[in-house]
Structure 1
Amino acid sequence: MKKGKRRRGNETNKFMEDRISQMPDEILVSILSLLTMKEAAWTSILSRRWKNMWTFITSSLEFDWSAVVLKLELLDVARKNFVRWVNRVLESHQALIINEFRVGFDLDGINSKCDIDRWINFALGKGVKRLELNLASFWGNSPEGRYAFPSHSLNVSSFNSLTSLSLTYVDVSGEVLESFLFNCPFLEGLYVGHSYGLVNLKVYGLSLRLKYLEICHCNNLKNLEISSMNLMLFKYFGPVISMPLRNVPCLNTVSFGGYIL
C-alpha cells in the first residue's frame, strides 16, 4: 500500500514538473529572476529544458561574498574562486540587457583589475541601470592595492541607461564622476565611499537628474561644489573642507559629519 502511494506521489511530482516546464520561456525566466544567482543556476540540473534558462535573466546579476569572513591565508584562493565564478557566469549569460550589476568582495586592484574592468564593460554593453562595486576588505585595503576605476579605456557615454552608481573602496577621480554626471542623463543616485582617488568634485548642471548624493570617508577630498536643481538628499561624512551648496531648491535632507585630518 505504501509503495502504491509513493508511486502515485512520484507520478504527481513528474506531472507538475512537466506542466511547469511547458510554460513559455518568458514566464520561466520571470520565475528565475526571483531567485538569487546561485539558486537560478542550480535549476540547470533539472532537465535539458532548464539547462540554459537562467542565462537569460535580465533583472539582476549579484555577486556578493561581502559577508564572508576569511582567514588571511585563504584570501588569495578565495579571490581566484570568486573571479572564476563571475567570469563563468558572464560567459554564459545571454540576455540582451540587465537592470542591476553588483559585485561585493575583497578584490585588489593588482591581480583583479583586468577582470573587474571587463565586468564593468560587460555591464555597460548590457545597458545596466544600477551598478554597484563594493570591494571592502575585512583586513583593510592599502592605497597601493586598491582597484582604480578606469578613466580612459571606458566609454562613459555608453552608460546612457544608468540610474544609480555606487562605488565603495574603489579609487575614482572627480573627473570620472563628473563624466558620469554629464553623460548619464538618467543618473539619480551617486554614492562614493572610501575612495583615495577623489580629490576635487563638481556636481553641477541644469540638466542633472541627480536626486541622491552620498560622499563618505574620502580622506583626500579637498573641494566639493554642488549646484543641482533636482538634488533632494545629500549626505557627507569626511574631512572638513570647502563645500559650497548653490541652486538646490529641492534639497530637503542633509546630513553632515566631519573630522580634521
Structure 2
Amino acid sequence: MATRRDGGRRREGLTAEENSGGDWLSTLPDEILHNVLSFLPAHEAVRTCLLSRRWRNLWRSAPVLRIRHRWVGVERFNKFVNNLLLLRDPVPLDELEFQTYTYWPTKMPRPCIYEVKYAELWIRHALMCKARVLRVLVQSEHLAPLELSMPLISKHLTTLQLRSVKLDNHALDFSNCPVLEDLQMNCLEDLELESCKISTDKMVSQSLKHLCVTRCNFEMSTRISVPGLISLRLDDNYGSIPLLESMPLLVTASVKFGTFSWGCWKCIYHPGTCVRCDGDPDGDGGVKCKFFRGLSNAANLELVAEAGMCILKQDLTWCPHIQQTLLLDGWVVGHNFHALGCFLQQTPILEKLTLQLCKGHEDVVEIEESSSSMGQLVRFENLERVEVGCLRNDEWVQKVFKILNTCGVSPDKITIQSEKFRDQADD
C-alpha cells in the first residue's frame, strides 16, 4: 500500500514523464505559461483549464486579458466577461483589451440596439487592477459609438487605445493619469464603422508623449493641452479643427486635414476678435491657442490637406520654425503661394524640403504674380535636398524650379518628379 501511495504522489508531481507522459510544456514556470496565455483570446485562455491539473487555475492570474466578442448574443458576451473578471485572482493586470461591437439587427421588427452596457464597469475594474495598457476597440455599425463619460483615474496606466468611442469632458481629462504616455484614437479604414467622437472643449494631460488621432470627429473646437508631447499625428479627421497649446518638446508632427474639416468660423470671418483663439484682445493675459502656434517647435513636420487654405489662413503668422524636414502638400503651394513664403521664412536651417503639388497650370499665374516677393525670403544654408512632386505641366515645373533658385537652392539639390516624366520613364 505504501508503494501505491508513493506512486500516486509521483503521478501528481510536475515531472513530464511521471505526470503526463511527455507534457514538457506543463513543467515550465508560471511566468512563461502566463506569457503563452497572453497571446490567446480570453475565452480560449479559460479553456486551457481542461488540459491538466497544472493548467486548472493558471488563467485566473494571467496578466493579460484579450476579450473578443465571439458570442451568439450580447447578453452571453456580457455574462462571460462579468464572470471572467469576478473569478480572476486579485493580482495586478498588465493589459486589458476588449473588442466588441454595438449593432442594429436588420431582421428585428422594430429598432433595437444591442449594447455592451458594462463597458465602463470593466474599464474601472481594469484600472483598479493597476492595468498599464488599456484597449477599448469597438465596431459600431451605422450607430452612435460606445459612450464613455467616466473620468480615468490610474497611477499605472501608460497606454490607452480607443476605437469607435464617444468621449466627453470627463473622459478626456487625464489629470489623474500621471504616467499616461501614449494615446491612440482611431477607426478601422477598411470597414464602414463609426469613428471616435470627441465631444469636449479640452483634452488635458501633463504626461502624454505620443498622441495619434485618426479618422475621428471633433464635434467642437477642442483645445489640446499636452505640454510634454514628443510626437503628434492628426490624420484625416473631420469636424472642427482642434486648437493646440504650446508643445515645447515636440519633435515630429504629421497633420492631414480631411475634406470636412473646418476652423473657427469667428476667426475666419472676423479675425482677431475671438477670445478663445487669440486670447482677450484687451490683453488680460488669457492663454492664446492656435493650430500652427502649437506646432512651432516641431523639428519634423508634414502638412497635408484636401481643403483650401481658407481654413487656416488666419493662422499663417504663427508658422512653425522647422529645423530638419518639412513636407507641404499642394494646398499650401498651389492655392496660396504667400502661405509657402510664410513657411520658408521660418525655416532658415531646414535640411530637407518636400513639396507635393496637387494643382497644375491654373495656378501658374498666381505664382508668377507672387514671385517678385521671393527676394524677401531667407537663403537656406543647411538645405541638403529638395523633392518636388507635381502634375504633368512643363511651365509649372519651370516656375517651381525658378522659385527654389531664388531661395538660393542649387539645381543639383533639386529633384522634380512629375507624372509626365514618370510616364516617359515607364515607356
| TM-score, normalised relative to structure 1 | 0.73
Offset, 1:61: 0.8
- Displacement of 1:127 in angstroms is 0.5
Question: Could you tell me how far 1:101 is from its partner in structure 2?
Answer: 0.8
* Runs of 4+ in structure 1 over 6 Å off: none
Structure 2 residue aligned with 1:84, among 79, 88, 91? 79
CA contact (8 A) 1:170 1:195 kept: yes
Which of residues 9, 15, 28 in structure 1 aligns to 2:21?
Answer: 15
Give the drift of 1:169: 2.0
Partner of 2:46: 41
CA drift of 1:20 comes to 4.2
Distance 1:161 1:186 in 2: 6
Greater relative CO, 1 or 2 (CA 8 Å, sep 6+):
1
**Residues 35 and 12 of structure 1: CA distance in aligned 2, closer, same or farther (over 3 Å):** farther
Contact 2:101 2:116 in 1 (8 A): no
**Measured at CA, do residues 16 and 81 of structure 1 come closer, stay the same or move farther in structure 2, by a change above 3 Å?**
same
Q: AA paired with 1:198?
A: S
> Which of 244-253 and 22-31 deviates more?
22-31
| Structure-1 residue corresponding to 2:94 | 99
Q: 1:150/1:135 Cα in 2 relative to 1: closer, same or farther (>3 Å)?
A: same
Q: Structure 1 pair 88/78, CA: closer, same or farther in 2 (3 Å)?
A: same
Shift of 1:160: 1.0
2:305 equivalent in structure 1:
none
Indicate the residue corresponding to 1:118 in structure 2: 121
Identical-pair percentage: 23
> 1:188 matched to which residue of 2?
181
CA gap 1:30/1:95 in 2 versus in 1, 3 angstroms: farther
For structure 1, the 5+ residue unaligned runs are 1-10, 69-74
Secondary structure of the corresponding residue to residue 253 of structure 1 = strand
> Residue in 1 aligned with 2:260?
260
Matches within 5 A, 1:134-173: 134-137=137-140, 139-141=141-143, 143=144, 146-151=145-150, 156-157=152-153, 159-173=154-168
> Which SS does the other structure have where 1:88 is aligned?
helix
Q: What letter matches 2:138 in structure 1?
A: L
Aligned to 1:211: 210
User: Which residue number corresponds to residue 246 of structure 1?
Assistant: 246
1 CA distance for matches of 2:29 and 2:253?
46
Q: Which residue of 2 aligns with 1:61?
A: 65
Structure 1 contact 200–222 (Cα < 8 Å) conserved: yes
CA RMSD between the two structures: 3.0
Residue of structure 1 equivalent to 2:269: none
* Structure whose alpha-carbon radius of gyration is higher: 2
Partner of 1:32: 37
> Structure 1 CA distance, aligned partners of 2:26 and 2:222?
58
Q: Which moved more, 1:22-31 or 1:209-218?
A: 22-31
On the 8 A contact 1:43/1:50 being kept in 2, the answer is yes
Change (3 A) 1:27 1:258: closer
Q: Report the CA distance shift for 1:136/1:22 in structure 2 as closer, same or farther (over 3 A).
A: closer
The number of residue pairs the alignment matches comes to 227
Larger deviation: 232-241 or 43-52? 232-241
Query: Quick one: structure 1 residues 20 and 240, their matched pair in 2 at CA, closer, same or farther if it must change by over 3 Å?
Result: closer
Contact 1:57–1:95 (CA<8 Å) still a contact in 2? no
> What is the one-letter code of the residue matched to 1:190?
L
Deviation (angstroms), 1:227: 4.5
Q: Residue 122 of structure 2 aligns to a residue in which SS?
A: helix
SS of the equivalent of 1:246 reads coil
Q: 1:197 to 1:239 in 2, by over 3 A?
A: closer
SS in 2 for 1:177: coil
Contact in 2 for aligned 1:239/1:259 (Cα 8 Å): no
Residues 160, 235 of structure 1: CA spacing in aligned structure 2 closer, same or farther, 3 A cutoff? same
Does the aligned pair in 2 maintain the 1:164–1:190 contact within 8 Å? yes
Q: Is the 8 A contact 2:41 2:67 kept in 1?
A: no
Counterpart of 1:200, as a letter, is: D
Q: Report the TM-score, using the length of structure 2 for normalisation.
A: 0.47
Do the aligned residues in 2 keep the contact of 1:133 with 1:168 (CA within 8 Å)?
yes
Q: Which runs of 5 or more structure 2 residues have no equivalent in the other structure?
A: 1-16, 104-112, 187-194, 262-427
